[in-house]
């Protein structure tokens, strides 16, 4: 296919990470073109999450997640204020509900301190109730830096910024990428486009895009659906802000939590169940190609062997309202089945390595004239502005 356009930088993926990267490149006086397969920006992970601006409590000190989350969080608050995007720094409580969680709560507190979270403080059960009168806890942790916003709205504002000095092309899927005479040629729905540099921010498809470009990534994306319930008005009265459990440190998921969204509704979730399609927003969505890819990946089988019990329990919780209610009642015992309504779902792009480990940190690699974002799970929406700056540095 003959090349119809020449560009300096092409970014594949108009999610929050691709768009933040385009903004950071514009700040370097470059003119990026963002290609987005869907008809709108930010409709996959960016538009299907908890909307929480994470403080940076959980991440290993010194990791990309810890450093980019801390920087990105403050940039996100500033950006939302500048662009009048609703957001609030409401803080959150993490609650321990049994003795065996106390050492892990202490470890979280140490991590938070190592990550520079000022004002982080341990709470007695009475102090937990001052924040959340209906929460059950034998101890708690208050994290003042946490907040909520609407990352879909943030992504749309980023896209408007990019359109002013670069370009965002929606409805344009990148099919393949290949090196040709010192540049990268991207075959798209709109013909072949060439660029000096191509940045792959394809989220749930980033591993495929990398492989299609001739890279040999040491991870594959396994899609994990996160299902939410929405609380009825009566149920929502039991939750003032954000109530989180003490997470299981073996997994990068935070555990089912209660979040008062920026629009005032309260969501409960998300769980984490294998999705049989990369866009598997419903349990019944199955993609043969995606299933065959998962089944053919040794890393998946190693992961499944290690965690099959947890996986089955999570799957049962997904099928049984009673089981998911029980998890929520550990946090707020007064919650009842009639308070829960089926809510939205999201699909997480989780990178799994060949040894079957869920990759914990962000993974962003440059190979020749391409940069691949191979793992950008939570808190990548919070950290997006800082991730964009990090990628723009790699792209120099």
Ligand X SMILES: Cc1cc2nc3c(=O)[nH]c(=O)nc-3n(C[C@H](O)[C@H](O)[C@H](O)COP(=O)(O)OP(=O)(O)OC[C@H]3O[C@@H](n4cnc5c(N)ncnc54)[C@H](O)[C@@H]3O)c2cc1C
Residues interacting with ligand X, by CB under 6 A? Answer: 12-18, 35-38, 42-46, 48-52, 54, 173-174, 201-205, 209, 226, 270, 346-348, 376-382
| Closest CA relative to residue 348, chosen from 48, 28, 31 | 48
Q: How far, in Å, CA of 277 to CA of 102, rounded?
A: 37
Nearer to ligand X, 101 or 150 (CB): 150
Write down the least CB distance from residue 206 to ligand X, Å.
7
| Three-class SS of 192-208 | EEEEEEEEECCHHHHHH
- Which tokens is 93 given? 């409580």
Write down the least CB distance from residue 381 to ligand X, Å.
3
Nearer to ligand X, 209 or 268 (CB): 209
Nearer to ligand X, 173 or 283 (CB): 173
| Alpha-carbon dihedral sign for residues 37, 48, 57, 59 | negative
Instruction: Count Cβ atoms within 10 A of the Cβ of residue 68 and give its class: 0-12 exposed, 13-18 middle, 19 or more buried.
Output: buried
Write down the least CB distance from residue 86 to ligand X, Å.
15
Write down the least CB distance from residue 98 to ligand X, Å.
25
Nearer to ligand X, 140 or 379 (CB): 379
Pairing of strands 32-36, 3-12: parallel
Nearer to ligand X, 324 or 378 (CB): 378
Nearer to ligand X, 173 or 302 (CB): 173
What is the Cβ-side half-sphere exposure of residue 219, based on CA atoms within 13 angstroms?
26
Write down the least CB distance from residue 188 to ligand X, Å.
7
**Residue in the block written with tokens 């299609």:** 212
Nearer to ligand X, 64 or 139 (CB): 64
| Three-class SS of 74-126 | HHHHHHHHHCCCCEECCCEEEEECCHHHHHHHHHHHHHHHHCCCCCCEEECHH
Write down the least CB distance from residue 102 to ligand X, Å.
25
**3-state SS assignment for residue 370:** strand
**3-state SS assignment for residue 260:** strand
Residue 256: how many CB atoms within 10 A of its CB? 23
Write down the least CB distance from residue 323 to ligand X, Å.
19
Compute CA 245 distance to the chain's CA centroid, rounded to the nearest angstrom: 18
Nearer to ligand X, 15 or 245 (CB): 15
Sorted by sequence, the CB contacts under 8 Å of residue 292 that are 6+ apart come out as: none
Alpha-carbon dihedral 287, 17, 13, 195, rounded to 10 degrees: -140
Tell me which residue has its CB nearest to ligand X. Answer: 15
Nearer to ligand X, 66 or 139 (CB): 66
Write down the least CB distance from residue 369 to ligand X, Å.
17
Write down the least CB distance from residue 99 to ligand X, Å.
29
**Residue in the block written with tokens 């396994």:** 222
């Amino acid at each position: 296919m003959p090349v119809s356009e020449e560009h300096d930088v092409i970014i594949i993926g108009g999610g929050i990470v691709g768009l933040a990267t385009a903004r950071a490149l514009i700040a370097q006086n470059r003119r990026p073109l963002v290609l987005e397969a869907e008809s709108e920006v930010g409709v996959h992970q960016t538009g299907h999450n908890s909307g929480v601006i994470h403080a940076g409590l959980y991440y290993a000190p010194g990791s990309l997640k810890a450093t980019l989350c801390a920087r990105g969080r403050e940039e996100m608050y500033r950006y939302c204020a500048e662009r009048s995007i609703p957001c609030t720094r409401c803080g959150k409580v993490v609650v321990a509900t049994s003795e065996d969680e106390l050492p892990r709560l202490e470890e979280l507190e140490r991590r938070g301190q190592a990550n520079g979270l000022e004002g982080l403080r341990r709470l007695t059960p009475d102090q937990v109730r001052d924040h959340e009168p209906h929460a059950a806890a034998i101890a708690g942790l208050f994290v003042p830096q946490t907040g909520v916003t609407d990352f879909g709205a943030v992504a749309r504002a980023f896209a408007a910024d990019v359109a002013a000095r670069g370009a965002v092309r929606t409805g344009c899927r990148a099919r393949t990428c290949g090196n040709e005479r010192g540049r990268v040629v991207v075959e798209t729905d709109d013909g072949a486009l060439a660029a000096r540099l191509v940045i792959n921010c394809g989220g749930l498809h980033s591993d495929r895009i990398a492989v299609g470009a001739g890279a040999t990534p040491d991870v594959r994306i396994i899609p994990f659906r996160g299902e939410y319930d929405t609380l009825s008005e009566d149920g929502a009265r039991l939750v003032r802000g954000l109530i989180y459990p003490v997470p299981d440190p073996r997994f990068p998921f935070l555990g089912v939590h209660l979040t008062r969204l920026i629009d005032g509704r309260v969501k409960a979730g998300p769980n984490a169940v294998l999705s049989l399609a990369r866009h598997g927003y419903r349990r019944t969505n199955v993609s043969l190609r995606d299933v065959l890819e998962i089944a053919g990946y040794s890393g998946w089988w190693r992961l499944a062997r290690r965690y099959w019990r947890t996986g089955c329990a999570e799957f049962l919780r997904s099928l049984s309202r009673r089981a998911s209610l029980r998890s929520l009642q550990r946090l707020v015992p007064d919650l009842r089945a009639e308070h829960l309504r089926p809510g939205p779902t999201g699909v997480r792009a989780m990178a799994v390595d060949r040894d079957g480990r869920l990759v914990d940190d962000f993974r962003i690699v440059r190979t020749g004239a391409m940069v691949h974002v191979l793992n950008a799970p939570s808190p990548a929406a919070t950290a997006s502005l800082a991730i964009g700056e990090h990628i723009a540095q790699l792209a120099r």
